[in-house]
Amino acid sequence: MAPVDSIGIDAPVDPTAQLIGTVITAVIAVTMLGATLTLCRRERIWWPVLALVSGSMTCFLEPLYDHLYGLWFLTEGQWNAFVAYGIHIPVWLPMIYVAYYGSCTVIFWYRLHKGATMRDIAVHFTISVLLACAAEQFYINVVHLYNYQDHQPFYLLNYPFFVAIVNGVPPMLSGIIYYRLVPILAGWSKVILLFVVPFSFAANSFGSGWLYLPYRHGGENPSMVVLTLLALLTALLSITVIWTAARLAGIGGQAARSEAVEGAVPAV
């Protein structure tokens, strides 16, 4: 069976920029890993290691996201981790996935674990969105390692800014899911935590984009007006996902915080 293919306008990767981007990403990843492991030791819990693995595994969804949202990694001279859907995934991408989708998920869980209101959810979700936006600005406009191509709404500084909201969902949503799951899981059942971050990524990226994505790929020249409206809908649905998950988790309500605390203490 022939694979889904993505054809982008390619260009050579600047070797110096690639080295700088990879080194900076590695430093960020090591720092976030260290912070997460320190939290594990201080709280005497080990299940966040599963969250780190879960975050890193999510990179296997990146090629499908790239194909659907029009992201293209420059391939000439790039250091590849793997190739899928016609997309060449660079070696630094799994590192930033560990840091952002892994460690940030644990940080958001910890904030919920210590008690949070809906206002806190709004603040932390905003932080998640800003982190996603800042990371993409660095890789797109500073080291020029990839770009978004062809029919992009809300396109400014070589970036469709609405996707920052889409990409800001997984760490926050995963943190909320962990907040409710960890207290009711024991022993080997905690293995299910490995699948939380990929689920959150796919559920929102492809779920909230359920109208935007098929329209974008429905013809050679989709209307930019319609694309813009559907991109706005995708962003609004992404925000709604976080609001709904937080309410279902009892955040800001009368849910017993002690239940989460008790369930979080046993180590994996």
Could you give the percent of the chain with pLDDT greater than 70? 92
pTM of structure: 0.90
With 80 as the cut, is the pLDDT of residue 51 above it?
A: yes
With 50 as the cut, is the pLDDT of residue 265 above it?
A: no
Q: Tell me, what's the pLDDT at 257?
A: 46
Written as one letter, the residue type at 152 is Q
Residues linked to residue 89 through DSSP beta bridges, in sequence order: 82
**Structure tokens given for 238:** 């992404």
Helix (H), strand (E) at residue 18: helix 15-43
Distance CA 110, CA 115 (A): 9
Provide, for the chain, the percentages of residues in helix, strand and coil under a 3-state DSSP scheme, each rounded to the nearest 5.
65, 10, 25
Q: Tell me, what's the pLDDT at 151?
A: 83
Domain boundaries, the chain: 15-264
Distance CA 162, CA 231 (A): 7
pLDDT digits (tens, 9 = 90+) for 127-156: 999 999 999 999 999 999 999 998 899 999
With beta carbons less than 8 A apart as the criterion, state whether 246 and 112 touch.
no
Q: Tell me, what's the pLDDT at 213?
A: 96
Written as one letter, the residue type at 226 is V
With beta carbons less than 8 A apart as the criterion, state whether 195 and 268 touch.
no
With beta carbons less than 8 A apart as the criterion, state whether 229 and 216 touch.
no
- Sequence-separated (6 or more) residues with CB below 8 Å from residue 153: 160, 162, 224, 227, 228, 231, 232
Written as one letter, the residue type at 130 is L
Distance CA 109, CA 254 (A): 18
Q: What 8-state DSSP symbol labels residue 76?
A: B
With beta carbons less than 8 A apart as the criterion, state whether 132 and 201 touch.
no
Distance CA 132, CA 127 (A): 9
